[in-house]
C-alpha cells in the first residue's frame, strides 16, 4: 500500500491542486463484505469513475481507505493511499490525509459519490479560486431531500451544514442539500479540520462542520449547485440501482452521439468500456459485458449477450447469441440464434447460424458451421483447440472432439463425431452404419401393446 506523504516541489512551481477521495466506508447498508466503493457500476467499481474524473482536473489524488482494504489500494494505484484505522466520521477521515495536502487547493470528495463529472469539479475549483471565496462546496436540490444534510444559507452565502439527524423541522424543510464535497486552500483546510469536534448525535467528526468554522472566521462560503444525478450518494442496493440507471443513460447517449443506433435505448445495457464504431446498430434487449469492441457496420440483434469480444466490421450477431471472452468475429461473419462462442476466432464471411457451441476454436474464412455443431474443448482438466479450415462445411449435429484440425474445404457428414484430423477437401464421416430391418417397427409396436394389455 502506498502511503507516500511527500509534498515537496520546486519553489518556482505553482502549488499543486489535490483531490482527497474518502473511500474507507464499509457499506453496512449494502449488507456486503465488499467495500462500498468497490461495488460495480456499468461493469467497473464506482471508485474508478471518481478517480478517472478527478485525474482530469486535479494535479494529485489521495485515497483514504479503511484497514485491510487491499483491493481499494490496488484500484487506487499509483495514487497515494492513506489508511483511516478508526472510522470516526468524514472529518476524521479527511484528517488522515492532512500530511498530503501540500500547499495548493484541496478538494475532499467521496468514493460513494462517483458520478461527479470533470466539468463540475472544474466549476468547484474555479469558485474556490474566485476573489472572495474561502471555501466552496457542492450542493444539489433533489426531488426528494430525504436524509441528506441541509445547507443553511443567508444572503447567498453558506452559514453551515446541518446533518439530518441533528436538524430541526425547519432545517429539514430546506431544499438545498449537501453533497459533502468541499474545496479550500490547504492551510485553511488543516486549521478548520483541527477545530471540529464530535459533539453531535452520532459522536462523529463531520467534515461539514468545516463550513461553520470558515463562516465563523468571516470567510465567504459559496455553494456550486450541480445536478442530482451527479451528486447522488450510494449507500444501499437501491441507491446503487439508481446510480446504475444514471450511468447507463450517459453511456447510451454517448453511444448514439458517436454514430450508433440503439433501437430501444432503455433496454440496452452497456459497460463503461464498451466501444462502438459508427454505423453500428443494436436492437432491443442486448447486454454488453466488459471488454467489447463493436466495429463499423455491425448489427447486434435482440437478446444477445456479448463480453470480452471484438465484433465485425459488418458482422451480424443474434438474435439470442452469446459471445464470451476471447472471441473475435471477422468481417461480414454471421453468428445466429442460440449460438455461443468462447475464445473463438470466426473468420471473415464465416457463418454459425443455429444452435451451436464453439469453444477454443479457429474457424477459417467463409466456412459454414451447421446447426447443432459443438466443439468438445474441455477434458475436465485442460482446454484444447479445434481448427476448421477456410470454406469448410460442417454438417449439422457434428461433434468435433479437440484437439483436432480440419483442413481447407473439408465437409463433415451430418451427425458425425470427428476425433481425428481431416485433410484438405476431404469428406469426413464419423457415424455408425445405418441398417434398416423390414417390418421390425410394426412388430415392436405390437409387442408393446400386448404388454400394456397384460398390465
Clarify whether 420 is annotated catalytic.
no
Q: What is the pLDDT of residues 195-207, one digit of tens each?
A: 998 887 788 888 8
Q: What is the pLDDT of residues 168-179, one digit of tens each?
A: 999 999 999 989
Q: Bigger pLDDT: 179 or 360?
A: 360
Whole-model pTM: value is 0.86
Stretch 427-454: mean pLDDT, rounded? 92
Question: Of 375, 406, 409, 404, which is closest to residue 392 (Cα–Cα)?
Answer: 409
Concatenated DSSP letters of 87-124:
---HHHHHHTTGGG--SSEEEEEETT-TT--HHHHHHH
- Give percent of the chain with pLDDT exceeding 90: 80
Cβ distance 314 to 331 under 8 Å? yes
Q: What is the pLDDT of residues 260-295, one digit of tens each?
A: 999 999 999 999 999 999 999 999 999 999 999 999
pLDDT confidence of 7, banded at 50, 70, 90?
A: very low
pLDDT confidence of 413, banded at 50, 70, 90?
A: very high
Domains of the chain: 18-231 (3.90.550.10), 237-428 (2.160.10.10)
Judged against a pLDDT cut of 90, whether residue 362 lies above it is answered with yes
Concatenated DSSP letters of 395-426:
-TT-EEESSEEE-TT-EE-TT-EE-S-B-TT-
Judged against a pLDDT cut of 70, whether residue 11 lies above it is answered with no
- Give percent of the chain with pLDDT exceeding 70: 97
- Confidence at residue 12, expressed as pLDDT on a 0 to 100 scale: 52
Beta bridge partners of 276: 294
- CA dist., res. 151 & res. 123, Å (int): 18
Q: What is the pLDDT of residues 123-160, one digit of tens each?
A: 999 999 987 899 999 999 988 888 888 999 988 899 88
- CA dist., res. 450 & res. 455, Å (int): 9
Catalytic residue among 293, 305, 354, 384: 354
pLDDT confidence of 13, banded at 50, 70, 90?
A: low
- Per DSSP bridges, beta strands 417-418 and 345-346 are unpaired
Q: Average the pLDDT over each of 45-49, 109-113, 142-146 and give the range with the smallest value.
A: 142-146
SS3 of residue 298 by DSSP: coil
Judged against a pLDDT cut of 60, whether residue 6 lies above it is answered with no
Q: What is the pLDDT of residues 364-400, one digit of tens each?
A: 999 999 999 999 999 999 999 999 999 999 999 999 9
Q: How far is CA 323 from the centre of its chain?
A: 18
Amino acid at each position: 500500500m502506498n502511503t507516500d506523504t511527500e509534498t515537496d516541489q520546486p519553489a518556482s512551481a505553482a502549488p499543486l491542486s489535490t483531490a482527497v477521495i474518502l473511500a474507507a466506508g464499509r457499506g453496512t447498508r449494502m449488507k456486503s463484505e465488499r467495500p462500498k466503493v468497490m461495488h460495480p457500476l456499468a461493469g467497473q467499481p464506482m471508485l474508478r469513475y471518481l478517480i478517472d474524473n478527478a485525474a482530469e482536473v486535479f494535479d494529485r489524488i489521495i485515497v483514504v481507505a479503511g484497514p485491510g482494504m487491499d483491493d481499494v489500494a490496488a484500484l487506487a494505484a499509483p495514487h497515494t493511499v492513506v489508511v483511516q484505522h478508526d472510522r470516526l466520521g468524514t472529518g476524521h477521515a479527511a484528517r488522515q490525509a492532512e500530511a498530503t495536502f501540500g500547499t495548493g487547493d484541496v478538494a475532499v470528495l467521496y468514493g460513494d459519490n462517483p458520478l461527479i463529472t470533470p466539468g463540475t469539479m472544474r466549476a468547484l475549483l474555479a469558485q474556490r479560486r474566485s476573489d472572495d471565496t474561502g471555501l466552496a462546496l457542492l450542493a444539489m436540490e433533489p426531488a426528494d431531500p430525504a436524509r441528506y444534510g441541509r445547507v443553511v444559507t443567508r444572503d447567498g452565502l453558506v452559514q453551515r451544514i446541518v446533518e439530518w439527524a441533528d436538524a430541526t423541522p425547519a432545517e429539514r424543510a430546506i431544499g438545498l442539500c449537501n453533497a459533502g464535497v468541499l474545496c479550500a486552500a490547504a492551510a485553511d483546510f488543516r486549521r478548520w479540520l483541527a477545530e471540529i469536534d464530535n459533539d453531535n448525535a452520532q459522536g462523529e467528526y463531520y467534515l461539514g462542520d468545516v463550513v461553520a468554522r470558515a463562516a465563523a472566521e468571516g470567510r465567504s462560503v459559496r455553494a456550486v449547485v450541480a445536478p442530482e444525478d451527479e451528486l447522488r450518494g450510494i449507500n444501499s442496493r437501491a441507491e446503487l440501482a439508481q446510480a446504475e440507471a444514471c450511468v447507463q443513460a450517459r453511456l447510451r447517449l454517448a453511444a448514439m452521439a458517436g454514430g450508433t443506433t440503439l433501437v430501444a435505448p432503455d433496454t440496452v445495457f452497456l459497460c463503461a468500456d464498451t466501444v462502438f464504431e459508427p454505423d453500428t446498430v443494436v436492437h432491443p434487449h442486448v447486454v454488453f459485458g466488459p471488454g467489447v469492441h463493436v466495429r463499423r457496420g455491425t448489427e447486434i440483434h435482440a437478446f444477445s449477450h456479448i463480453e470480452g469480444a471484438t465484433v465485425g466490421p459488418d458482422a451480424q450477431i443474434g438474435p439470442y447469441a452469446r459471445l464470451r471472452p476471447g472471441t473475435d468475429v471477422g468481417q461480414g461473419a454471421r453468428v445466429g440464434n442460440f449460438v455461443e462462442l468462447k475464445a473463438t476466432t470466426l473468420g471473415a464471411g464465416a457463418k454459425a447460424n443455429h444452435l451451436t457451441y464453439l469453444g477454443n476454436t479457429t474457424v477459417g474464412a467463409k466456412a459454414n458451421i451447421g446447426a447443432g455443431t459443438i466443439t468438445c474443448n474441455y477434458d475436465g482438466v485442460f482446454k484444447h483447440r479445434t481448427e476448421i479450415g477456410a470454406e469448410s462445411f460442417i454438417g449439422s449435429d457434428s461433434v468435433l472432439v479437440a484437439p483436432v484440425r480440419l483442413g481447407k474445404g473439408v465437409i463433415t457428414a451430418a451427425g458425425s463425431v470427428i476425433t481425428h484430423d481431416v485433410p484438405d477437401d476431404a469428406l469426413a464421416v464419423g457415424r455408425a452404419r445405418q441398417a434398416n430391418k423390414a417390418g421390425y417397427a410394426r412388430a415392436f409396436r405390437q409387442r408393446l401393446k400386448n404388454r400394456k394389455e397384460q398390465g
